[in-house]
Structure 1
Amino acid sequence: MTTTRTTTRTAAWAFLLTSIVVSVAMVPSAASGVVLPDPSRGEASSTAAAASHLGPPFKVATYNSLFASHTDGRNPRRAQFPHSTVRTRRTVKLFRRSGIDIAGLQELERSARRKFRSLAPEYRIFDASNKAVVWRMDDFTFIEGHTIRTRTYHGRLARTPVVTLRQRATGQHLVVMSVHNPADVRGPAEALRDEATQQELAEVLRYRHTADPVPVVVLGDMNARATFFCAFTESGDMHAAAGGSHVNGVCDAPSFNKGIDWIMGSSDVAFSRFKDAYSTRLATDHPLITAVARITP
C-alpha cells in the first residue's frame, strides 16, 4: 500500500466518522435499508448513539470498463477511446485515488483483466463472462465464489459472479454480485433484462431468507432505470445507495446522471456519500459510481 493512498484514505475515513458522530440519524429508504446523512448536502441529525452500532466503513463501486475489443486493433469500433492498456492504467489510478475497497466491473475482457491484475496486485479478482468482483485484499478475504446464469443478447446464457467475502476488521461476511444486464443495442432486450433481474434477486434472497441473513451488495450496469429499481426493491429487502423509495406498492426511483449503473444493498447495509460524477478521463464511456457502505447489526 502506498503512502499517498494510506494518507488519503485515512483522512477520508476520519472525515466520514466525524461527520457521522455529529449527525448520524439514519434516513430509511422504503426498501427497509438505510442511507446515512450526507454532510456535503447539508443533511444532519442528532442520534449519535446509532453510529456506535455500525461496522467500519468501506467504499464500494460499480464500473463498466468498456470492452477492450471495442478500442484495440486496426479499426476499433470506439476509436475515440485509447487502447485498453492505457485505459486500464487510468482505471487503476482512479481506483487508488478514490479509495475503492470493493467493485463490480463489467465488460472486463481477458486482456484488460490481465493488465488490471499486473498493475493492481493489491486487488483480487473473481470473474465470469466479462464481469468481475474485485476487492482490496488488506480489507477483505475470500470465502467462496460461484456464478449464476442469466440470459443475455439473443437469449444466450451468461455467467454472473457472486462472491462471499469476510471483512478483516470485524469477521463479518458479505456477499457481492457484479451484474451486466443486456441493453437494446442488438434489438429489444427488456424481457431479457426483466428475467435476469428476477434471477439476480432470487439469488440475493437466497442469502437473506435464512435464520442468519448475510449482508448483500449488488453492483452493476443494469441498462435500466425505474424498471430495475422497482423490481429489485419490491421485496422490501434491497435499497439503492442513490436513494429512492418503494412503500406500499408505490415506487419512486432515484434520478442521477447516467442512471443505469447501480449500487444496491440489503437492509443491513447502510450507504452514505453516493457519487456518480467521477470523470473517468476517457478510460471508459461510463462514470465510476461509488458509495461508502457500513454493515449494520
Structure 2
Amino acid sequence: MRRPSPPPRRRRALAALLLAVALVAASGCQSPRADDPAEPDSSRADGPDTPSSSSPSGRPTGPATQPGEDRTPQIPSVPDAAPVGQGTDFVVASFNVLGHRHTVPSGNRPRFADSRVRMVGAVDLLRRTDVSVAGLQEFHRVQLWAFQDIAPEYAVWPGLELGGGIVQNSIVWRRSEWRKVAGDVVDIPYFGGTPHPMPFVLLEHRRTGRQVWFANFHNPANVRGPAEQWRREARRTQAALTNRLLETGREVIVTGDMNEKWTYACRVGRRAPLRSADGSGWRDGGCTPPAAGWIDWILGTPGIRFDAHVVDQTPVGSTSDHPLIRARVSIAGDGGDG
C-alpha cells in the first residue's frame, strides 16, 4: 500500500531544514590556505595573528584603500634632535625568516625544519655577523617566543605589544647598544589593498647618543593576483613616512621584503631621499639599478653611509628561503667626525 505524501507545508519545512544542514556542513569544511604569507598563526590558544582594528595611536585601519588615496602618515611627537659629536657605526640587516605556517606539514615549505629550530639558526647568524639592528619579516608569534628565549640580548618592536597581527614585521636591536625612544606603526596596503600596520621606531645609540629612525616593511607579492597597484601605494606611503621622519632632524633606515627586485630603490627614491645600501637608487634625475636583483632591501637617507653590503646566502634552504641582507652603517658626528 502506498504511503500518503506529507502535506505541502510539512514538505517545505523539511526542505528548509535539509538546506540549513547542508550549508552548515559546507562552511565547516572550509579551511585557511596554508600557503598564505599573511596567514595568522593559530597554533597557540590565545588566538590568531590577525591585524588589530586600529593603530596604537587609535587610528582605525579601515577597509581596503583605493589607489591614489591620501595616506599621509602620522608620527609620534619627539623633541628636537640634540647635536652628537661622535660618529656612530653599526651593522644593520633585513631578514625574511620564513613564517611559521609555511613550514608546518600542511604548509607550502614542509621540507624546512620547524620554525623554532630555524630560529636558532637565524639568531646564530645575527650574532656571528654582529647585527646591531634588524628588520624581520614573516616573524610569527611562535618565532617571536623562540627568539625571546634564545636571544634575550635583543629587544623587539612591536612584537606582541600592539596585538598579534603586527608581530609579523618587527624590528629587533641589541639592548646593550640601543634604547627605544618612540615607536608606532603605519598602515601599508597589503593583499587587496587591505591596510596592515607595519612598524617604525626611534632608537638612541647608548654610546654616542645618536638617534636614528628604523622602519620595516613587507609589500604584497602577486600570489593572490597582480599586486603592483598596492605596491605602488605602499611605496608612496613609505616615501611619505621617510620624509615625515626626516623632518624631525634624524636619519632614517628602511628595511624590508619589498617583493620588487630591480626597481624599488629608484621608484621610492624619486619621492624621498632614500638610497639602497648596494648603491642603487635615484640620483641626479636618473636611476642607477642594482647589480643583482633581490626583493629584500636596506635603504638610508643622505646622512647614512653604507659599506660592506652583503647578500648572505648562508640561511637559504635551511633557516629560510631568503638571504640575510646586511650592511655596515656609518653616521658622522655633527662636527664632521666619522
Answer yes or no: same fold by TM over 0.5: yes
More strand, by proportion: 1
Corresponding position: 1:278 with 2:313: yes
Q: Give structure 2 stretches of 5+ with no counterpart.
A: 1-84, 159-165
- Greater length-normalized contact order (CA 8 Å, ≥ 6 residues apart): 1
Q: Deviations over 1:83-106 (max 9, x none)?
A: 101100110111111111000000
Let me know the Cα RMSD of the aligned residues.
1.6
Correspondent of 2:186 among 148, 173, 191: 148
Q: Deviations over 1:55-94 (max 9, x none)?
A: 231000000011101112x433211211101100110111
Matches within 5 A, 1:49-68: 55-68=87-100
Corresponding position: 1:170 with 2:170: no
Larger mean Cα displacement after TM superposition, 176-185 or 273-282? 273-282
> How many residue pairs get matched?
241
Q: Deviations over 1:150-199 (max 9, x none)?
A: 11012211011000000111111100011100011111001100100110
Q: Which amino acid aligns with 1:110?
A: R
More helix, by proportion: 1
**1:17 matched residue in structure 2:** none
Corresponding position: 1:160 with 2:198: yes
**2:27 matched residue in structure 1:** none
* TM-score, with structure 1 as normaliser: 0.78
Q: Who wins on radius of gyration, i.e. which is larger?
A: 2
**1:207 matched residue in structure 2:** 245
* TM-score, with structure 2 as normaliser: 0.68
Q: Which amino acid aligns with 2:100?
A: A
1-structure distance, mates of 2:280, 2:245: 23
**1:241 matched residue in structure 2:** 277
Matches within 5 A, 1:62-211: 62-72=94-104, 74-127=105-158, 128-208=166-246, 210=247
Q: Is the 8 A contact 2:274 2:281 kept in 1?
A: no
Q: Give me the identity figure in percent.
A: 33
1-structure distance, mates of 2:223, 2:288: 27
What's the secondary structure of 1:232's corresponding residue?
helix
Q: Which amino acid aligns with 1:285?
A: D
Q: Give structure 1 stretches of 5+ with no counterpart.
A: 1-52
**1:261 matched residue in structure 2:** 296
Q: Deviations over 1:209-263 (max 9, x none)?
A: x3x521110001001133311122114621111112423321122122x511000
Displaced runs of 4 or more, over 3 A: none
**Cα pair distance change 1:189/1:272, threshold 3 Å:** same
2-structure distance, mates of 1:280, 1:135: 20
Q: Which amino acid aligns with 2:115?
A: S
Correspondent of 1:226 among 262, 268, 285: 262
